[in-house]
Structure formats: C-alpha cells, structure tokens
Chains A and B, each alone.
Chain A
C-alpha cells in the first residue's frame, strides 16, 4: 500500500500538484486519470522520488519515501518498477542488457540466473527471442513491452506505469492493459497507472483517481465512474461521441 499525504508541488510559481491525498492499494490496478497537462506525470514522479515535494509525504507501507536522499531511497527502489511515458530504454544497450540493468544494480545474481530472469519476463510480455535487438530496431508497442519487462524484472512490489498504452492501436493497447492487470494479480503488486484512455479506465480501473488542474477531483472505480454527476469528470469521461452514445 502506498499512502500519499497532502502533497503539493510547484515549478516556479505554478502550482502543478495541489494538496493531493490518496492511497494506492495492494494487488489492485490503481489509475490516475486526467486531461493532458493536468499533472499526472508530475504526481507520479513525486511518488517515485524523482521530484522532491514542497509539502506533504509519500509512504510505502509506512516507510517514508519523499524528500529523503537517493541513498536512503535505495532499499525501496529495489522493490519498485517504473515504466516511463516514452519507454526510456537505454539506446546503447540491447533488450537483454536493458532488462538486466536493474538486476545488475540491485542483486548479486549470477549471469545464468539473470539470463533466466530475462527470458522469463520477456515471455511474460510476449517477446521471447528479442534478447539481442537494440531499442532502435523495435516498434513502438515493442518498446513499451520491453520497458514493462524491465520494470518487472526485479519482481517489484510496486509498479508505476506512465501512459503504458498511449500511441498504440486499440488491440495492442488492450493487450498491454491486460498484461499489467494480470501481472498485478500474479505478483500481488501495488500498481499505479497514469492514463487518459477511457478504454483502460473501464477495463482495469479497480481504483481510479481523477486529477483536474492538479487537484484530486474524484475517487472511485470503473463502476461508479459512469454514474457520477461530477461535472468535470463527466466532461472527461463523456468527451467523445462514442461514449456519449453509450450513455444514452
């Protein structure tokens, strides 16, 4: 369980994250939704300690993680996997070396054990046999899936994914959602996903936080989200013709 307690973050005099409190639960896919520019990525980066917060606190199972030194963050980072918006694979390393990177940094595994782990996670993202490709040789969807493989290679307790299926076709996007959801169940992870894709929301939204202009505007799940009368949320959910027709 991850507890976010009253965190705020501003850049210059722009308040981007405005006093947000919530909890992300274990074994569930927790979604952060909101328009482009609403502050999802900044909120996530505050949670994973890439930004220090101006006020408030983030705790991982009662262990404080915000505004401490990178050195002290290390033992929680060992239990954490992150999928960045653009994948953030290391261009100079092969798929295999990318996935091995966190294993090299955090574990004392032997080379054989590491290779087994690489093949295991690649199998989980349906990319068996791509070990020796370079990121430049992969398609967008493959990059995302390799990045997921890298994020889960340590068998993390906490998984963060920033728009895992943006820019992908609906079929691939759905497969990635299913993958994240099934991995969450399989390894009982606390998974936090940023998205503005309504398909993902309705498919895997076990807990949903709606962010509007940096404020937490609504919390619920994929059932309650369709019945809310909160105006900002309705504007977001029923933004397209398709969803409006479904509502009628």
Chain B
C-alpha cells in the first residue's frame, strides 16, 4: 500500500517535472548551475576508481589466461570488454548514486524543510520543473561523458599495470584492446548509463522532495536515495542486458 502510494507520488512528480518551463532563461540558468555542481562532484573519485579497477582487471585477466594456447592480446581484449560492458557504466553509476544522489536528496530536502519549495510555488514556479528537470537533463547528458572517460582511464590503468608488473607486454595489450570491437557494446553502455542517470536523479530528487520533518529526516532521505537508486540500477541493469544483449 505504502509502496504503491510512493510510486504514484513519484510518477506525479516526474510528470510535473517534464513540463515546458514558463520562463526559459530561468530554467537555463538552473541547468547551468546543475552542470557545474555535477562537474565538481565527481571527476576526481571517478578518475581514481577507474584507473585502479582497470589495473586490477588486467592483472586478474592475466592470471586467468595463463595458457600458452591463448594469445596474450586476449588480456587487453577482455579488459576492454569488461570495462565497456559492465564495470564503467554500472560500477561508476553506483558510485555516482552515492555521490550525486545523496547530494541531490539533501539539497532538495533542505529546501523542503526550510520552506524554500513553498516559496518557489508562491512565486509562480512549478517546483519539480524548476528543481528536478534540470538535474535529470544535466545528468543524462553528463554521465555518458563521464563513463567514456572512465572506460578510457580503465584501459589506461590496465596498460600501465601490465608494464609495471611485466605480466602483459605492451604491444599485445594494445593489439588486444583494438581487436573485435563491436560498436554496439558502446551503444549498450551508453543506453545503460542514460537510464541509470535518470534513475539516480529522479529517485533522489523524489526522496528529497517528499521529506517531512527536520535535518534528521533529510539525512535519512539521502541514505534512502542511495539505497533505492542502487537497487533500481542493478535491477534495470539485468533487464536492459536481457533486452539488449540476448
């Protein structure tokens, strides 16, 4: 019952968000603001995680493929596939659910409990449209860029690790990452990313938007935002993979 009510409330909020803004320039300014916030939020943590995960995967692949019958370039190939198909879009999105999601929920939640959302309404603003839509749009445009960046860094990390440990010859790795490339895998990764971006921003915004109470509840809402969007990410990952790859 309660969960159905929440789903209904969420749908209503999202539908309200996707209306045409009354004042274009007010909306554009908010969009710019949200882009800036997303940028500072995430670059450094994503760089670190991508580099290291790429390195780790490359070593694991080298360990797995320890047979004279399999060419060493397979290590580069599988590292790339892993990163493109799953690690970058999903793991990075989960991290973004933690970073961006909790921030959105607490930002909007604080606006709720300090009556800023009431103030918006009194000033003739449709609050979901003004607060939520720019965040959704900014994330859906920006996350794919981040994921491509993460894939690139991951592959780089594997290459560097291969050289440092001497496990993977540089030339083999480079041949590997270039072979049997199916552009659809990248399309698949981008589709997933865009869906995850929508989930993270809309669910977190919903959690913040419906906060009642005080600062304790805002904290709770931001934790819930992370939990719920993470679960939905994994769940939709499974469904999308089923739909797109089989």
In the assembly, what is the distance between CA of A70 and CA of B19, in Å?
Answer: 14
B114 proximal to A (CB < 8 A):
yes
Interface hit among B40-48, B115-123, B150-158, B161-169: B115-123
Interface size class of A (residues with CB under 8 A): 20 to 34
Is B115 touching A77 in the complex (CB atoms < 8 A)?
Answer: no
Question: Which residues of chain A are within 8 angstroms of B118 by Cβ–Cβ distance?
Answer: 45, 50, 84, 88
Residue from A48, A78, A89, A92 within 8 A of B124 (CB atoms): A78
Contacts from B to A (Cβ < 8 Å): 22-23, 25-26, 33, 110-111, 114-116, 118-119, 121-126
A140 proximal to B (CB < 8 A):
no
Question: Which residues of chain A are within 8 angstroms of B121 by Cβ–Cβ distance?
Answer: 50, 70
Residue from B23, B115, B126 within 8 A of A84 (CB atoms): B115
Minimum CB distance partner of A45 in chain B: B118
Is A80 touching B115 in the complex (CB atoms < 8 A)?
Answer: no
Is A82 touching B124 in the complex (CB atoms < 8 A)?
Answer: no
Is A102 touching B114 in the complex (CB atoms < 8 A)?
Answer: no
- The A71-101 residues at the B interface (CB cut-off 8 A) are 74, 77-78, 80, 82, 84-86, 88-92, 101
Number of A-B contacts (CB under 8 A): 49
A242 proximal to B (CB < 8 A):
no
Question: Which residues of chain A are within 8 angstroms of B119 by Cβ–Cβ distance?
Answer: 82, 84, 88, 90
In the assembly, what is the distance between CA of A162 and CA of B116, in Å?
Answer: 14
Q: A90-B119, A91-B111, A102-B124 are in contact. List 6 more A-B contacts (CB 8 A).
A: A45-B118, A50-B118, A82-B119, A82-B122, A104-B23, A105-B23
Question: Which residues of chain A are within 8 angstroms of B23 by Cβ–Cβ distance?
Answer: 104-105
A187 proximal to B (CB < 8 A):
no
Is A88 touching B114 in the complex (CB atoms < 8 A)?
Answer: yes
Is A77 touching B122 in the complex (CB atoms < 8 A)?
Answer: yes
In the assembly, what is the distance between CA of A80 and CA of B33, in Å?
Answer: 28
Is A88 touching B115 in the complex (CB atoms < 8 A)?
Answer: yes
Question: Which residues of chain A are within 8 angstroms of B110 by Cβ–Cβ distance?
Answer: 91
Is B122 touching A50 in the complex (CB atoms < 8 A)?
Answer: yes
Is B115 touching A101 in the complex (CB atoms < 8 A)?
Answer: no
In the assembly, what is the distance between CA of A86 and CA of B25, in Å?
Answer: 28
In the assembly, what is the distance between CA of A48 and CA of B116, in Å?
Answer: 15
In the assembly, what is the distance between CA of A78 and CA of B122, in Å?
Answer: 9
Is B22 touching A80 in the complex (CB atoms < 8 A)?
Answer: no
Is B123 touching A105 in the complex (CB atoms < 8 A)?
Answer: yes
In the assembly, what is the distance between CA of A105 and CA of B110, in Å?
Answer: 22
In the assembly, what is the distance between CA of A101 and CA of B119, in Å?
Answer: 10
Is A105 touching B115 in the complex (CB atoms < 8 A)?
Answer: no
Contacts from A to B (Cβ < 8 Å): 45, 48-50, 70, 74, 77-78, 80, 82, 84-86, 88-92, 101-102, 104-106
Question: Which residues of chain B are within 8 angstroms of A80 by Cβ–Cβ distance?
Answer: 122
Residue from B114, B115, B124, B126 within 8 A of A106 (CB atoms): B124
Is B22 touching A85 in the complex (CB atoms < 8 A)?
Answer: no
Residue from B26, B115, B116, B122 within 8 A of A85 (CB atoms): B115
Minimum CB distance partner of A162 in chain B: B115
In the assembly, what is the distance between CA of A101 and CA of B123, in Å?
Answer: 8
Is A105 touching B26 in the complex (CB atoms < 8 A)?
Answer: yes
In the assembly, what is the distance between CA of A106 and CA of B111, in Å?
Answer: 22
Is A86 touching B124 in the complex (CB atoms < 8 A)?
Answer: no
5 nearest A-B residue pairs (beta carbon): A88-B115, A88-B119, A84-B115, A102-B123, A82-B122
Q: Could you write out 8 A-B pairs with CB less than 8 Å apart? A: A45-B118, A77-B122, A80-B122, A82-B119, A82-B122, A85-B115, A89-B116, A90-B116
Minimum CB distance partner of B127 in chain A: A70
Question: Which residues of chain A are within 8 angstroms of B115 by Cβ–Cβ distance?
Answer: 84-86, 88
In the assembly, what is the distance between CA of A78 and CA of B114, in Å?
Answer: 22
In the assembly, what is the distance between CA of A74 and CA of B22, in Å?
Answer: 11
Is B116 touching A104 in the complex (CB atoms < 8 A)?
Answer: no
In the assembly, what is the distance between CA of A91 and CA of B124, in Å?
Answer: 19
Closest CB in chain A relative to B19 CB, distance in Å: 10
In the assembly, what is the distance between CA of A53 and CA of B33, in Å?
Answer: 36
Residue from B33, B111, B124 within 8 A of A105 (CB atoms): B124
Question: Which residues of chain B are within 8 angstroms of A88 by Cβ–Cβ distance?
Answer: 114-116, 118-119
Closest CB in chain B relative to A60 CB, distance in Å: 14
Question: Which residues of chain B are within 8 angstroms of A105 by Cβ–Cβ distance?
Answer: 22-23, 26, 123-125
Closest CB in chain A relative to B242 CB, distance in Å: 41
Question: Which residues of chain A are within 8 angstroms of B111 by Cβ–Cβ distance?
Answer: 90-91
Minimum CB distance partner of B117 in chain A: A88
Minimum CB distance partner of B30 in chain A: A92
